[in-house]
Amino acid sequence: MPIFALALKSLMNRRATAALVVLSIAVSVLLLLGVEKLRADAKASFADTVSGVDLVVGARTGPIPLLLYSVFRIGDATNNISWRSYQDVAARPGVAWTVPLSLGDSHRGFRVLGTTLDYFSRYRYGRDRNLVFRAGEPFDDLYDVVLGADVAATLGYALGDRIVIAHGLGEAGFQKHEDKPFRVVGVLAKTGTPVDRTLHVSLEAIEAIHVDWRGGVRTPGMHATADEARAMDLRPKQITAFLVGLENRVAVFGLQRWINEYRREPLLAVLPGVALQQLWDLMGTAETALAAVSGAVVGTGLLGMLTMLLAGLAERRREMALLRAVGAVIKGVDLVMRGTVDNAFCAVRPPGHHAEPNRVMGFCFFNNAAVAAQYLRDYGLHRIAILDVDYHHGNGQQDIFYERSDVLTVSIHGDPSFAYPYFTGFRNETGRNDGAGFNLNLPLPET
């Protein structure tokens, strides 16, 4: 039998164990790839939050805090920057575009961002991907609002719905601008960035809802209705931060130095890519934890596989012993037939004389004597005899050759009425059809 066919039959004989091993390996690999993909996607998504922006400018603070509140909408700015300072930077030679950002209000836990229409055309994420409207259009009226995908999905808003913006941050938002409600005119497509959790309004709208507020509270005795606010001068006085795009990126370091040395007020300009990497390095513990999870997954899978292999090791050892016994018989036949030796004695245990063609019996898995006889037939011999002397009748050999005349089976054994296997080995069992007369049973009487 070819080695691969034998291996396949052995595998099929233990198909349940083999299937569990394969399943364990598959699950381990799947978990490993899943964790690694999660780690890689988390890092890529983190780095792709904003792209195509050369500088992020805000009040002087650290690069990471500036990035957190201006891009990720996390935390608060230490200070705002004046509109005049923003205009000075926007007017610098080599500056192609700027997008102002004004933060500080919220709606049911989601940040409200005041900006200009350029935000929807200039903001990039991922690999230079544009913001896309899933429904509606950019804000046009003073009290229009554009929702991020998660805001619309979480709060169940649709085009035309009315919402009220709250002053400050937090889920509750006790101080609300109820006198100046906004109308939903657009919903952005999913981006996987903080844009999804942001409400976008115009800078003029931010000014309008605060015309009768001072120091974060409503001014007593002063109230301007929504229509009255439309007639006021709504030019921004302050913003939180702004994004800068250059005509030539070679000039980025020069502009960054100029902004950082700006004399009118303390400003800070950071390269978003560098700041993002610094932020990710600061969060390196998370990456290390994910790598540790990956290692634990692999270790768990290998441990499970090893456990199943060890559990089947005893069975495999017995199987290998059986195969070696069969191999010893075949080797003995080869040595004799090739003239290497005159005779051969194979000390194999068990001898296998109870094993039938399709059934294991009496601790016998392979009928070694029958294998030897059949192998001799392959050498061209036509007259072969098997002499079996054992207290138990060799029922396997008898069953295999019972209808064949090329192998004579002789068995000397105990009385089958008292000795295993009980149901066979009587004198009248002499063969059938072509094998009639070629099976001789010599049961000995019990004394």
307 within some domain: no
Tell me: do 334 and 253 sit in the same domain. Answer: no
Domain co-membership, 234 together with 322: no
Q: What is the pLDDT along the chain (447 residues), one digit of tens a residue?
A: 566 776 777 677 777 777 877 787 787 778 778 777 777 776 666 666 778 899 999 999 888 889 888 888 888 888 999 999 999 999 999 999 999 999 989 999 899 999 999 999 999 887 778 999 999 999 999 999 999 999 999 999 999 999 999 887 655 545 788 889 999 999 999 998 899 999 999 999 999 998 887 766 666 667 788 888 888 989 999 999 999 999 998 999 999 999 999 999 999 999 988 877 777 676 667 667 767 777 777 777 778 777 777 766 666 777 777 778 888 888 989 999 999 999 999 888 767 889 898 888 888 888 999 999 999 999 989 899 999 999 999 999 999 999 999 999 999 999 998 888 888 999 999 999 999 999 999 999 887
Is 302 part of any domain? no
**Shared domain check, 90 and 213:** yes
Q: What is the pLDDT of residue 221?
A: 65
185/67 same-domain check: yes
**Domain membership flag for residue 12:** no
**Domain interval for residue 425:** 315-444
Same domain, 83 and 181: yes
Q: Are residues 232 and 369 in the same domain?
A: no
Let me know if residue 60 belongs to a domain. Answer: yes
How far apart are alpha carbons 284 and 43 in whole angstroms?
A: 10
- Residue 24 domain flag: no
The answer to whether residue 421 is domain-embedded is: yes
Contact (CB, 8 A) for 180 and 226:
yes
Both 218 and 349 in one domain: the answer is: no
124: in domain: yes
Residue 54 tokens read as: 């050369």
Number of structural domains (the chain) is 2
Token reading at 353: 């004389």
**Residue 7 belongs to a domain:** no
Q: What is the C-alpha separation between 82 and 18, in angstroms, rounded?
A: 71
Distance CA 361, CA 400 (A): 14
Residues 178, 67 share a domain: yes
331: left (phi over 0), alpha (psi -120 to 50) or beta: alpha
User: 364 has which bridge partners?
Assistant: 361
Domain shared by 211 and 341, yes or no: no
- Quote the CA–CA distance of 92 and 87 in Å, as a whole number: 9
- Do 199 and 330 belong together in one domain? no
**Which two three-digit tokens encode residue 227?**
């229509």
Q: Please state the φ and ψ torsions of residue 49, each to the nearest 5 degrees.
A: -60, -40
**Domain-ending residue, one of 243, 270, 297:** 270
**Residue of 207, 242, 260 whose CA lies nearest to 86:** 242
226 shares a domain with 89: yes
Pair 238, 368 in one domain? no
Rounded Cα distance, 150 and 111, in Å: 12
